[in-house]
């Protein structure tokens, strides 16, 4: 087994697909682990991915299928005939199925649900009642529940009896007669304990829990902070409805970070595999913000029109406009990104806004002094000392201002209940540009004695 | 236990600290879980954090301590006297200790290592031999190894005998006589199996493994893709040296994403808690890129100087400069961020560069046509039809160009062995600005008949 699982597998595979070489394709499939195969299916077009999928052994097909994103799962399922279709759907974990259905058109949902056993259908429907971003969508309802007043030996016997169907047996919720959560036991503690011991000695009654309607991202970050393998999920009456397992939490965090990355560059997050997205889909994910930003950018044009007299008098002032607005934008973007990330991982709260604004003001001033010195030298070489002075004074003021605006806006957004990640670098840049130009021309008037 | 663990705990705590109210502080500490307390310690200054830490019960102190970042751990340890200092250090997991030492000054390392038992010291030193970003720094060397030819009952007995000291017992590496990895067994399978069964029936011999010198981030992402709880770590002779557990993998991923976020805004990642960083430390993390970018931005000034004749002839051309370079920068930033993220999560490989460049060229062209139409309307209202035509033609060309540059650069960086995340939005923007201006003025010459 190679340690580097991803080393150019696709070149070989493409050749086999082009040749339609079934025997070698089957050999290739047998040699690669499910996540690698899933990755290739996601990258391939519909015809090839369905072809490859049908060549898989049934057990492996299920494993590969579970590794796929909902969009890719639909791509495969659409290409399968009824018996194969239902075999796959029936074998999926209920939470994965709910996620697949959450994004599918209604007739597709119909086709999936109609093929399920009553038990499987109930589990999926239960999960489907929750919001897109709720813990309920990601939790595993198939858990092993233990009763409070048993011995370790009895508890282990119960794990053996019903554990095969559960998604995890490493964290075992302990419940009272009404299915209310009283605590959790780790399988590790059960295995290491004396079989005759009472379960109550091992139960962690202080365990963290979340509601099924809570945000999946917060729950996942909580698991990371508190180093939990599984997090019990309860309903509004504190009854256990499932467990959020760490592999699902990891997926939640990766998806949230991917979304934040996209938002930070003023794009909508793309669903599905990056390579599978078409030109129009990508353009659609980017155009909305670009429209808003270009309209906002007319503010810069308005400001420059207002100072057209100064520009005509000293054309050289125009030479440094991109440098000044660019630097202001960079400083603002750095401050904004730092604040957005600190909010996302829980290191910062909206109430910190004044503390942060003051700190960033000083940081921006320091940066401005450093950059102003560089700007002075560069501008002196290129033009004259008066313009150089204007440029460097402007840099100090613009950097301090940009840092304050960049760091405060995500905090204010959060206060207003808006996702702080929409305060993207391009948004901050655009807003800082216009004010930066005003600062520049006001300083130019004073230094150069214009107007 | 409240589900929302973070609701403004600090206001209450600050009051207690200000009053020096020890009884209530102890009560507060008893009522909050370790990760919440750790969060407050990280946010507090040195005096208050050491005060709070000394009020903790010993067992809880260890738990809280392990939740802290290395920087914060040093802050606390520096304030403790010898016996308390060594108690804490001895109780830490070896991998956490190695991380603490990796970032500490030498005399601090000395003080830590000298207090350890020989066994603990060996474990820590072993971990310390690996690179900052290597799996070896994050793995847990304390694992339960099983021999190949045993029964399930014998294996479970071994887990019971030595499992208490291991960081995890959920994944059990199976080794040959030379400690070479032959596969892994899940504790779940052991518990659910017939005790008389042979272990070999349960061993997954196809399991993924990584070398201790491999990148921790790749290993963590591999665990996420393959849904692994623990990943066996081997040395160059395939002997087991530890396990990478999923809670550590999650930390690796969060740290890597935080680093990528910072890099994407052209800042160095900050170490430690966001609020604990001082003004100079933050400024230092941002200034290097800003210097490079402002020097690169003089290119834009040079371009504008070259076209000063055109600017003097039609001053109104200057009015749209920030709008054009801003829009080009935005399109480039979106493309770059998408590519950087797709590379980080493994959806994209450097060899995809031509495919991506061609796709982005079409995306950029589409965006340019949409934005060019908006730009035409806006510029017609503000100036005249000729300038509006210049602006909208320029938008089409600049958007297509910016998208290609933005998406290709991270892939080229990866090919050259550079972290693609350094291809930040500000860097792309700065590089696209100068070429964008050239495009603008060349189009202006043709449309307006200048020069």
User: Per DSSP, what are the bridge partners of residue B31?
Assistant: none
Task: Answer yes or no: are the C-beta atoms of A173 and A181 closer than 8 Å.
Answer: yes
Q: Are B125 and B96 in contact (CB under 8 A)?
A: no
User: What are the start-end ranges of the E strands in B199-342?
Assistant: 210-211, 230-234, 240-245
- Residue B167 tokens, joined: 């960081």
Taking the Cβ of residue A288 and every Cβ of chain B, the question of whether any pair is shorter than 8 Å is answered with no
Backbone conformation region of residue A8, classed left if phi is above 0, alpha if psi is from -120 to 50, else beta: left
Cα within 13 Å of Cα(B49), Cβ side: 23
Q: Which residue from A minimizes the CA distance to B365?
A: A283
User: What are A260-291's pLDDT values in tens digits?
Assistant: 888 887 788 877 788 888 888 889 889 988 99
Mutate to test the interface with B, among A186, A206, A277, A323 (most CBs of B within 10 A): A323
- Beta pairing class for B171-175 and B181-186: antiparallel
Over its length of 451 residues, how does chain B's per-residue pLDDT go in tens digits? 344 444 455 777 888 877 777 788 888 888 888 888 888 888 887 778 888 888 888 778 888 888 888 778 888 877 777 667 777 777 777 777 777 776 666 666 666 666 666 667 667 766 667 777 888 888 888 889 999 899 999 999 999 998 888 888 999 999 998 889 999 999 999 999 999 999 999 999 888 999 988 999 999 999 988 889 999 998 888 888 889 999 889 888 888 888 888 888 788 887 778 888 888 888 988 998 889 899 888 999 999 999 988 888 888 899 999 999 999 999 998 999 889 888 888 888 888 899 999 999 999 999 999 999 999 999 999 989 999 999 999 999 999 999 999 999 999 999 998 888 888 888 888 889 999 999 999 999 999 887 5
Whether B294 and A5 lie within 8 Å, measured CB to CB: no
Dump pLDDT digits (tens) for B418-446.
Answer: 888 888 888 888 889 999 999 999 999 99
CATH 3.10.580.10 intervals, chain B: 146-264
User: Nearest-CA residue of chain B relative to A309?
Assistant: B315
Residues of chain A with CATH 1.10.357.20: 279-448
d(CA A275, CA A296): 32
As a dihedral over the C-alpha atoms of residue A267, residue A270, residue A274, residue A278, rounded to 10 degrees, the angle is: -90
Topology (CATH level 3) of domain B279-448? Tetracycline Repressor; domain 2 (1.10.357)
User: B319–A301: do the CB atoms touch at under 8 Å?
Assistant: yes
Q: Where are the beta strands (DSSP E) in A41-153?
A: 146-147
A362 to chain B: which residues are within 8 Å by CB? Answer: 279
Q: Is the confidence at residue A367, as pLDDT, over 80?
A: yes
Q: Classify each residue of A397-427 as buried b or exposed e, where b means 16 or more C-beta atoms within 10 Å of its C-beta.
A: bbbbbbbbbbbbbbbebbeeeeebbbbbbbb
Inform me whether the C-beta atom of residue B25 falls under 8 Å from chain A C-beta atoms: no
pLDDT digits (tens, 9 = 90+) for A23-65: 888 888 888 888 888 888 888 877 788 888 888 887 788 888 8
Residues 165-204 of chain A with CB under 8 A from chain B are 168-170, 187-188, 191-192
Pick B9-129's CATH classification: 2.40.160.20, 1.25.60.10, 3.40.50.300, 1.10.760.10: 1.25.60.10
Task: Indicate where chain A has its CATH 1.25.60.10 domain(s).
Answer: 9-129
Closest by Cα among A327, A326, A319, A401 to B325: A326
CA A98/CA A90 separation, integer angstroms: 12
Nearest to B283 by CA among A238, A34, A443, A362: A362
Distance CA B53, CA B69 (A): 15
* Mean of pLDDT values over A124-143: 78
Query: With a cut of 0.85, is the ipTM above it?
Result: no
Q: Which residue of A has its CA nearest to B426?
A: A330
Token pair for residue A54? 């049908």
pLDDT value at residue A370: 95
Sequence-separated (6 or more) residues with CB below 8 Å from residue A308? B315, B316, B319
pLDDT value, residue B41: 86
CATH classification (class only), B146-264: alpha beta
Strands A171-175 and A146-147: parallel
Q: Which of residues 344-363 of B touch A (CB under 8 A)?
A: 345-349, 351-352, 355, 359, 362-363
Cβ atoms of B387 and B316 within 8 Å: the answer is yes
Which of A3, A333, A378 is facing B425, going by the closest CB pair? A333
Which of A246, A189, A182 is closest to A209 using CA atoms? A182
Report the gap between the CA of B436 and the closest CA in chain A (Å). Answer: 11
3-state secondary structure of A184: strand
- Strands across the sheet with A181-186, in order? A146-147, A171-175, A181-186
Which residues have CB under 8 Å from B448's CB, separation 6+?
B314, B386, B387, B390
Q: What three-state secondary structure class fits A280?
A: helix
CB spacing of A224 vs B254 below 8 angstroms: yes
At A364, give phi and psi (nearest 5°): -60, -40
A73 forms bridges with which residues in the sheet? none
Locate the chain B residue with the closest alpha carbon to A7. Answer: B349
Interfacial A residues in 103-162 facing B (CB < 8 Å): 156, 159-160
Is residue B47 within 8 angstroms of chain A, CB to CB?
A: no
**Beta-carbon separation of B315 and A315 below 8 A:** yes
pLDDT band at A3, cuts 50/70/90?
A: very low
């Amino acid at each position: 087994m190679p340690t580097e699982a991803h080393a150019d597998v696709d070149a070989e595979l493409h050749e086999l697909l082009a040749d339609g070489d079934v025997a070698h394709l089957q050999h290739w499939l047998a040699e690669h682990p499910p996540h690698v195969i899933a990755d290739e299916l996601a990258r391939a077009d519909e015809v090839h991915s369905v072809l490859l999928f049908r060549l898989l052994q049934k057990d492996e097909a299920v494993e590969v299928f579970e590794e796929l994103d909902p969009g890719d799962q639909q791509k495969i399922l659409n290409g399968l005939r009824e018996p194969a279709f239902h075999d796959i759907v029936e074998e999926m974990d209920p939470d994965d199925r709910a996620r697949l259905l959450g994004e599918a058109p209604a007739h597709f949902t119909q086709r999936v649900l109609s093929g399920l056993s009553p038990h499987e259908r109930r589990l999926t429907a239960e999960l489907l009642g929750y919001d897109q971003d709720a813990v309920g969508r990601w939790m595993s309802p198939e858990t092993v529940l233990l009763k409070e007043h048993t011995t370790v030996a009895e508890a282990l016997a119960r794990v053996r009896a019903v554990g095969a169907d559960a998604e995890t047996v490493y964290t075992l919720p302990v419940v009272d007669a009404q299915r209310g959560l009283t605590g959790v036991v780790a399988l590790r503690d059960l295995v290491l304990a004396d079989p005759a011991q009472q379960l109550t000695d091992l139960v962690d009654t202080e365990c963290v829990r979340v509601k099924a309607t809570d945000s999946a991202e917060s729950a996942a970050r909580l698991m990371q902070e508190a180093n939990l393998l599984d997090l019990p999920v309860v309903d509004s009456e504190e009854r256990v409805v499932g467990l959020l397992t760490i592999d699902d939490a990891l997926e939640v965090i990766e998806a949230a970070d991917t979304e934040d990355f996209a938002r930070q560059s003023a794009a909508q997050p793309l669903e599905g595999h990056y390579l599978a997205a078409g030109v129009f889909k990508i353009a659609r994910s980017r155009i909305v913000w670009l429209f808003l930003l270009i309209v906002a950018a007319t503010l810069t044009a308005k400001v420059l029109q207002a100072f057209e007299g100064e520009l005509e008098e000293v054309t050289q002032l125009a030479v440094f406009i991109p440098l000044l607005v660019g630097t202001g934008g960079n400083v603002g973007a750095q401050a904004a990104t730092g604040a957005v990330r600190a909010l996302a991982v829980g290191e910062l709260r909206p109430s910190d806004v004044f503390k942060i604004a003051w700190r960033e003001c000083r940081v921006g001033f320091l940066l401005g002094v450093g950059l102003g010195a560089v700007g002075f030298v560069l501008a002196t070489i290129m033009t004259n000392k008066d313009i150089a002075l204007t440029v460097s004074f402007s840099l100090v003021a613009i950097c301090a201002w940009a840092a304050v605006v960049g760091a405060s806006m995500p905090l204010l957004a959060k206060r207003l209940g808006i996702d702080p990640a929409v305060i993207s670098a391009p948004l901050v840049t655009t807003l800082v540009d216009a004010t930066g130009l005003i600062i520049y021309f006001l300083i130019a008037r004073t230094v150069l004695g214009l107007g």
